Amino acid sequence: MQLEKLQLQSLLAEFPSREPDSHKGTYGHMLVVGGDYGYPGAPILAALGALRVGAGLVTVATHKEHLLGLNAFHPEIMHCPIDDPNALAKLKHQPDIIVLGPGLGRSEWSQQVYATCSKLKPPQIIDADGLYFLAKDTQHVGDKILTPHPGEAKTLLQQKTNIATDARQQAVTALVEKYKCTVVLKGANTLVNSPDTTISICPAGNPGMASGGMGDLLSGVIGGLAAQQNNLVLAAKLGVIVHSLAGDQASKHGQRGIIATDLLPYIQQIIGA
């Protein structure tokens, strides 16, 4: 099967430039939903990724106990307490895109949050435990980007065995056929596919990126790009290559010990080039 390599410059050429008379509302509002007890940092990583690729507004919706630290260390990020998941339907600033799943967990609260988000209108990037609940959902409605790693892809496809390295192309094709949306199958040489495109492969990235939080950051990068324009496929492809190239930049002094936040300044440099 012929694969298309993701190329930064050609993808950037398709992405809208910043206009001199623009304002924060011009560049979209991303809502990231997650952060159950034990995982408060995951939605923050997604939010920071979105801000570094230029999203105009970013809101984190999570437990109220997590919001004090968020406000203290990242005042640029808006927040919404959702101990009552119904609060998501009453946001003062309605989002253009929703990232659902970073740190979501699998509690009763998590399930209620997923159920509420599934009824909201904006397109969604679904990651992490959002994919766990999606696998149990029979509706599959609305515009989506799914960002599974191979284990999550196995669950989404209801397979009993792990997805082998040489079966990744078949897996991403099967996911697109089943869920009728754009899919980012993460891992070495991440694959991107959608109903109307051929499979794209990411030539960048390195083993140093195998650390906690990298996927949360990627979902935010993709969401931040999607908030700025209405092309989910472009957001997925550009987000993957920007994130991977930033990982390569962060590894210039060695691959061991890289953490997700190390990528943030490089993400800004790459997308702003």
pLDDT category of residue 193 using cuts at 50, 70 and 90? very high
What is the pTM assigned to this prediction?
A: 0.97
pLDDT for res 208: 97
53-76 average pLDDT score: 93
Provide the pLDDT for residue 68.
84
Rounded CA gap, 161 and 258, in Å?
Answer: 30
How far apart, in whole angstroms, are the C-alpha atoms of residue 265 and residue 141?
35
Mean pLDDT throughout 43-54? 98
Confidence of residue 196 (pLDDT cuts 50, 70, 90): confident
pLDDT, position 140: 73
Q: Give the mean model confidence (pLDDT) for residues 92-108.
A: 94
Whether residue 1 has pLDDT greater than 70: no
Q: What is the pLDDT of residue 273?
A: 59
Q: How far is CA 31 from CA 36, 49, 90, 102, 235, in A?
A: 16, 12, 13, 12, 16
Domains belonging to the chain, first-starting first, are: 4-13+24-266 (3.40.1190.20)
pLDDT of 272 reads 86
For the chain, what is the mean pLDDT? Answer: 95
Q: Write the pLDDT tens digit of every residue in 138-169.
A: 887 779 999 999 999 999 999 988 898 889 99
**Predicted confidence (pLDDT) at residue 211 exceeds the cutoff of 70:** yes
